[in-house]
């Protein structure tokens, strides 16, 4: 019998036997076909709990939409790259192709921003208080934009806020420079050859966007393990892949673990590719440990102004700031990293690949925008 005919037959049997439906909805039946009262009660309670949970989630979504509405009017436009505040009541909006503009919005006063931060902290399982925990890093629910705010005495103007927008936008390779197709072919070959790759660039240059473009070169069946503290990597299509999240703060009671046990887990789940998000003081040591484990197909992003700075300074700096020590980091990276890609942002908001460096060969495939095959 085919699977299809079996399912049809099963469906007919269920329709002809109300007891099966009763069992699924309200619990087990006894040997005489009567419904067990305790099972029925439990089933009813579980069903009601599920409905209440869905209602609670919907209610929370509505509440958060209302709380975020004063900010959302500024980041809702799909071309918006980033929204910033440098003082209460003033918004700076950076839009792709248009650049920056300054907007007065008196509804976004200090108390309003602090109220928004407290609500976001509550649903993110982290702390925010203008006096004791004045910094908040999280994602905005629903839209998944990256939210960063520092309030209080550490800011001369009382508020420093930035929202990195994640509106659906897939740049074409022709958008990233004169040699778009040539660069794409080179990088596709590097990814498919499981080279270890670092994407380097200053803040808000499109490093994560480029990293997601590189991930598109991988087949769907690859075992991709993504490691981040804020979910930005696009790994849903990898049916044997998984995304891991590390706690940004210790003792947040969020149920999340920090980078050390996360690294131990990575090493025990047989990855084909380990993809770190942005390298920071918290995860630099774990990233280097992953590279040193003998894996290939490693990729990450890092804040640096040049490929050589990424290799000789930034990892060292992040490890030192974390309070750890590791000798000969630069030599270590030159041995294990195959490609460093440098990306920069122009004044009009567009991003361009300017340099591609091969540390093992000690040569630039691309330098200052000129391709050197």
Residue at token pair 């629910």: 141
Q: How is residue 76 annotated by DSSP?
A: -
Residue that has been written with the tokens 């019998």 in this structure: 1
Kindly report the pTM of this predicted structure: 0.74
Q: Rounded to an integer, what distance in angstroms lies between the CA atom of residue 340 and that of residue 330?
A: 13
Interatomic CA distance for residues 327 and 316, integer angstroms? 9
Place of tokens 């629903």: 142
Token duo for residue 6: 């079996």
> From residue 197, how far is each of 140, 162, 333, 363 by CA, in Å?
29, 28, 11, 15
Per-residue pLDDT reduced to its tens digit, 77-135: 999 999 999 999 999 999 988 889 999 999 999 999 999 999 999 988 888 999 999 99
Q: Look at residue 24 in the predicted model and tell me its pLDDT.
A: 38
Check: CB of residue 301 under 8 Å from CB of residue 200: yes
Encode pLDDT of 237-278 as tens digits. 999 999 999 987 665 556 788 899 999 999 999 999 999 999
What does the alpha-carbon distance between residue 58 and residue 52 come to, in Å, rounded to a whole number? 10
Distance CA 314, CA 198 (A): 12
- Segments in the chain below pLDDT 70: 1-60, 178, 249-254, 373
The pLDDT assigned to 286 comes to 93
At residue 1, the pLDDT reads 39
Q: What pLDDT is recorded for position 14? A: 41
- Percent of the chain with pLDDT strictly greater than 70: 82
Residue 136, beta-bridge partner list: 149
């Amino acid at each position: 019998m085919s699977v299809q005919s079996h399912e049809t037959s099963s469906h007919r049997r269920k329709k002809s036997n109300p007891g099966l439906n009763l069992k699924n909805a309200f619990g087990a039946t006894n040997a005489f076909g009567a419904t067990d009262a305790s099972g029925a009660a439990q089933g009813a309670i579980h069903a009601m709990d599920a409905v209440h949970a869905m209602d609670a989630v919907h209610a929370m979504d509505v509440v958060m939409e209302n709380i975020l509405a004063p900010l959302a009017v500024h980041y809702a436009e799909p071309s918006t790259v980033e929204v910033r505040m440098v003082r209460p009541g003033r918004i700076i909006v950076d839009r792709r192709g248009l650049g920056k503009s300054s907007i007065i919005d008196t509804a976004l006063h200090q108390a309003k921003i602090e109220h928004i931060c407290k609500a976001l902290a509550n649903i993110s399982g982290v702390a925010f208080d203008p006096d004791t925990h004045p910094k908040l890093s999280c994602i905005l629910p629903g839209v998944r934009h990256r939210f960063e705010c520092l309030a209080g005495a550490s800011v001369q103007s009382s508020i420093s806020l930035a929202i990195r927008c994640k509106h659906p936008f897939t740049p074409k390779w022709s958008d990233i420079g004169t040699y778009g197709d040539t660069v794409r072919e080179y990088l596709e070959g590097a990814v498919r050859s499981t080279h270890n790759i670092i994407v380097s660039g200053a803040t808000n240059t499109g490093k994560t966007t480029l990293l997601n473009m590189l991930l598109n070169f991988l087949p769907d069946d690859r075992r991709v393990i993504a490691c981040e503290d804020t979910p930005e990597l696009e790994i849903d299509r990898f049916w044997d892949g998984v995304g891991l999240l590390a706690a940004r703060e210790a003792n947040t009671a969020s149920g999340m673990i920090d980078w050390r046990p996360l690294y131990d887990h990575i090493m025990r789940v047989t990855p084909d590719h380990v993809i770190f998000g942005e390298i920071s003081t918290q995860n630099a040591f774990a990233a280097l440990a992953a590279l040193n484990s003998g894996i290939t197909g490693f990729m990450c992003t890092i804040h640096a102004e040049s490929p050589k700075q990424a290799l000789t300074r930034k990892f060292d700096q992040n490890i030192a700031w974390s309070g750890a020590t590791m000798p000969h980091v630069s030599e270590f990276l030159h041995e294990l990293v195959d490609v460093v890609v440098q990306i920069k942002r122009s004044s009009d908001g567009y991003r361009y690949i300017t340099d591609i460096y091969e540390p093992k060969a000690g040569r630039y495939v691309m330098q200052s925008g000129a391709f050197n095959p």
